[in-house]
């Protein structure tokens, strides 16, 4: 059985190289389905629940990061993927 530290390090290393790797195990559809099963309601916003969870995951995988760094990385990944970054890089509410 793999240790949590080893899994975290693998995810951390791979996340920047191939974020779709994580998506195979935790897809947008999986997250939306889980939210619906829990009767979670949300409004369509720039920061969707899926995007928020992915950004939080980035921050957790990089313990030294503050929220601002995770937000910046998420926005950079969107731009690199050809999706215009509509959100502000300011992590405050």
Q: Are 34 and 42 in contact (CB under 8 A)?
A: no
- Non-local CB neighbours of 11 within 8 Å, separated by 6+ positions: 22, 61
Better pLDDT: 71 or 92: 71
Task: Assess whether pLDDT exceeds 70 at residue 2.
Answer: no
CA-to-CA separations, 93 to 47, 65, 68, in angstroms, rounded: 11, 18, 12
pLDDT of residue 52: 85
Which whole number is the average pLDDT over 42-61? 82
Which residue has better confidence, 23 or 60?
60
DSSP string of 24-68, one letter each residue: TTS-HHHHHHHHHHTT------SS-HHHHHHHHHHHHHSTT--HH
> CA–CA separation, 12 vs 54, rounded Å?
13
Q: Work out the mean pLDDT of the chain and round it to a whole number.
A: 76
């Amino acid at each position: 059985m793999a240790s949590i530290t080893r899994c975290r390090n693998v995810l951390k290393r791979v996340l920047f190289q191939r974020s779709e790797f994580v998506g195979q195990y935790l897809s947008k559809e999986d997250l939306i389905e889980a939210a619906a099963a829990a009767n979670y309601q949300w409004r369509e916003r720039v920061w969707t629940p899926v995007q928020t969870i992915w950004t939080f995951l980035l921050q957790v995988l990089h313990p030294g990061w503050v929220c601002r760094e995770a937000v910046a990385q998420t926005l950079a990944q969107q731009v690199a993927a050809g999706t215009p970054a509509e959100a502000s890089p300011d992590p405050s509410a």
